[in-house]
Structures are given as C-alpha cells and as structure tokens.
Structure 1
C-alpha cells in the first residue's frame, strides 16, 4: 500500500496518470490500476477524471496531506536512529555494471565498512530510476537519464562507455557493408542505451536487417559470437576483446558513448556507508576508464 500512496502523490503533483507513469517508469494503465485499488481500499474517490487530465477532488486533497505524512513517517522509520546503524543500503545496478566493476567496488567497500549490509536489485535504467525516485532504492548505478531530475536526487558520473560494432569473424569490416549483408541484433530501443544506437543509425542513414532485439549487451555479444548476426553495443564493460569469434569495428562519424553513473537520493549521501560506496564505485570505474584509454592509445600506434 505504501507503493500505491507514492503513486498517488506523484499523480496528484503531475495531474496526469500518463505523466506520473513516465516519472515512475510505469504505464498509464498501471498507474490507473494502482490508484483504483487505493480508492477501493479507502472507500472513496481521489480524483475527478476528465478526458486528458485528472484533478484532485475534495476527498483527494485531504487524503494527499495525510499520504505525505504517512510517507514521511514511513521513510523516517527506515532511517530510525534508535536502531543500530550498520550502514544498510538498498542499491540497484544494470547488468553490465553487476558483471564488471561492481564486485571489485564491493570488495573495496567491505574493507572500510565491514558491518554494512547491502541489498542489490537488478533492473534496466528506467526501472531503477523509478525505484530511486519512489524511495525503494537508496541509489542506482545506471545509464544517465535524459530528462531532468527531481531536486532531491543527485547524478554522479562514473564512466563514459564507448560503443563498438561487433561481427562474426570473417564478416565485412566496413560497417555500412556489414549492415547491408548481415542480420542485425538490435540493442533494445526501449532502453536509453538502445535509443542511442537507434539515433546513430538514423543520423548516418544506415539501414539494418533486424532479426532480434535484446536489452543485455553481454547476451548480444554471445549471439554474435555464435554467428547469428552483427550488432552495435557499448563495449567497455563487456568482454568484447576476450570473446572468441568476434571482430570489432569502429563506428564512422566519431565516438558514440553512453554515460554511466550513480543516481542517489541526497538524504542518503549524508550517510558514511553511502559515501564509502560512491568512492569505491568511482575508484573502480576510474580503473576501467584508464584501461580503455591505454588500449585506445596502443591501437592508434599500430
């Protein structure tokens, strides 16, 4: 029910179930369903529904004040100082981060905060944004959101990850020719990372023969290594160089990058355990950035 109350507060501020859904990472239908269930539980309507907008009715305005108080109390309970503070954190991370520098960062974190507990939630960036915004997570390591952030959230950049073309060994090394002659395994256009690829292809007038669409760069890499097609993926956090049967292609028109960083609630960053985790993540991301620059420098001299 706490989740429904948060959805109610956001919908009341936005005066739109669709806008609330965009902010929370939910569909308009999901927001409407949550509000309807909350109304059923309370026994009265919260909104006057019109064709293109919703506004609070009299009962809804009173309920909004109470909902905000309940959420404040609930969040206060989670921060309760009367209990031993072991620096417990709820964090989210996209799959490529979990499979690359997150384990080393947690090792470094544990040396400084040996008693802290951490719960790690997987998810794509849009889901993690919604969970940080709704206080389900304290922070998330994810792709930078394109939209503006609420004032209670902070973005901390970690790494700029470069995209590369990948193809089975023996395939053409010219990207336009490759895309004309081989099936294309597309990075999911519903994700921020996949949207970057889609814009790149359109900007350069490159057509593709789409056969699959996936949201996991590491899975796409495996598909290409099995000869199922070619792709364009972010290549710094997945083992492109170490995967057999793969040719790596540069992308014409300059570098294509996505920014990965930490989205955190400002109130959480005051906690020593949170700051230690941020520092640990930043240190490990810096090592990867240094390795990427050294590889690029060696390649330029070949």
Structure 2
C-alpha cells in the first residue's frame, strides 16, 4: 500500500470537519472539482469508502470515522516537523486569537515582544475560536488563544475571566419589559451564559441586535440599542456603563480562555514562550490560573 498523501488527507479532514465539499474547497482555496478528485484518490488508495452524501451534506462512513483522528494527527505532526526544521531560520510566529483578546492591553504586550525579539515577526489572525481551531488543526497557526469549549485540542494553559454587563451611559432598563440584548450572530458560548444568567433570576429578555464582530457589538451598545456582556478591556467607559445588581442584573458570568500549541508545546522557552509571558502579564493572568490543566 502506498504512503498516504498529505494533500489528500488535508482534503478529507477539511470535508469531514466542514460537512460539505464546497465548504472544504473554500477553506482550502481550491475548486470543488479538485477537492472531489482528491477524495476519490484517497478512497482508491485506501480501498475504502470514507464519505457519503446525506440530507445534512457529507458525512463519514465507519471507515472515515476511523481515519479522521489519524489524519488530523498526521497533518499536525507534519506541521510540527516543518516548524522544528525551520527554527534555525528567522520566520514569523503565526499567532491566532479571538477579537476579545486582541483589544485592550494586548497592543502593549506586542510592543514589548517586538522590543525583546526584534528579529521575529508575527502573523496575526483574528477570528472566532472555531475558525482558529480549524487553522490550528491544519497546521496554519503556531499558537492560538481561544475558548477551550470550541478549540479541538487540549490547552497548554487555561484561565477564567469575568465578564461585565454593559450598556450606554444613558441606558435605562424597564423591568416590566424584556431586556434588549446585543448578541454575537456566530455560535458563541457567551450568548448562552447571558441568557442562562437572566433566566435564573426570571428576568425577561429579547434579541435586540445580532452582529458578527466585537466592534459592532460595542457600537450597538453605545447607541443604546441594548445590553451586552464584554470583558473589561472591551468596555469603553467614556461611552458605556457597567450594570450591576442595583440595575436588576444578575451576577455577570465568567468565561474561560486557553492557549493552544500543537503537540502541547513548551511555553517556557523560545519566542513563543516570550510572547506568552508578555500576554499573561498584560492580561494579568496569575501563575496559578495560567497553569490550570
């Protein structure tokens, strides 16, 4: 049997994770026809049917379910090998993070990193945790900070951060009417935490605004369209106010973040380790919290 072709495995993993050939083609920047051909070649090579069409798109067969974790591991190891061999050359650190982490004190951390590692550049990717997870699995990122519930890998470190209920400075909530909420349009654990906290105290609510970015969440809040939950770094206090129990709000939920490196890389050495130390300092992550496994 021939060795497995990485490009064929990459097409299979993308299709299995995306649920359709068209979505996989978009992720891989290829045509649908090219991805379909790669899938056929892989099935012929393995002499097994890996995917089948259903009403939900492309689903894996039993053989596909067996192959998927091996394919993901092989692609991850391939990326790790390339990174290990290229360490002797100066190259960018491909760093992915959620938009919530990218605001606030992070610019200071990046400034300190640039001063300490002048020969190392950064390729920054700002996206949702699920999109970052996909890029990490495909070897397209070296390190990611995101939601542990949405990244398909065990974090090297994790920590909790409190959220805040925020509204415009002149916002006045009427307890007799549903509380207008400003929510993320994409799948987001924060939405569920907001709704659960309000439901627990019997506070009625309604979806007032749904949007896809932190900046548009902030704009909607500043315009007085509703209430949102934000990290302290994302709360623009000159144009927003923090709501509390006196405003009829429940305790604000907490959220969890993690830092992810393929093959559980070492955070204590090298440029990536230095970058993490600066970020941990600026985000005020204490040592005990940052090493929780």
Shorter-chain TM-score above 0.5: yes
Check conservation: 1:96, 1:218, Cα contact below 8 A.
Answer: no
Equivalent positions of 1:159-178 (< 5 A) are: 160-169=161-170, 171-172=172-173, 176-177=175-176
Once the two structures are TM-superposed, the CA of residue 98 in structure 1 deviates from its matched residue by 1.7
- Tell me the TM-score normalized by structure 2: 0.71
Pairing of 1:82-93 with structure 2 (within 5 A)? 84-86=88-90, 88-93=92-97
- Matched residues in 1 for 2:234 and 2:76: separation? 39
How many pairs were matched up? Answer: 261
Residue 91 (structure 2) pairs with residue 76 (structure 1): no
Distance 1:225 1:183, change over 3 A: same
Determine if contact 1:144/1:259 at 8 Å carries over to the other structure: yes
Q: Where does the alignment leave 5 or more consecutive residues of structure 2 unmatched?
A: 26-31, 44-48, 287-293
SS in 2 for 1:79: helix
Residue 97 (str. 1) matches residue 130 (str. 2): no
- 1:281 CA displacement: 0.6
| Distance change >3 Å, CA 164–CA 39, structure 1 → 2 | same
CA shift for structure 1 position 120: 0.2
Corresponding position of 1:220: 217
Say if 1:39 and 1:45, in contact at 8 Å, map to a contact too. Answer: no
- 1:233 Cα shift? 1.3
Q: Residue 279 of structure 1 corresponds to which residue in structure 2?
A: 277
CA distance in 2, matches of 1:215, 1:89: 26
| Distance (whole Å) between structure 1 residues aligned to residue 183 and residue 62 of structure 2 | 41
Q: What is the CA–CA distance in structure 2 between the aligned matches of 1:200 and 1:159, rounded to whole Å?
A: 17
Flag the 1:146–1:200 CA change in 2: closer, same or farther, 3 A: farther
Show structure 1 runs of 4+ deviating over 6 A.
64-71
Q: 2:207 & 2:74 partners in 1: Cα distance?
A: 50
1:231 maps to which residue? Answer: 227
Report the TM-score when normalising by structure 1: 0.69
Aligned with 2:61 (options 51, 54, 58): 54
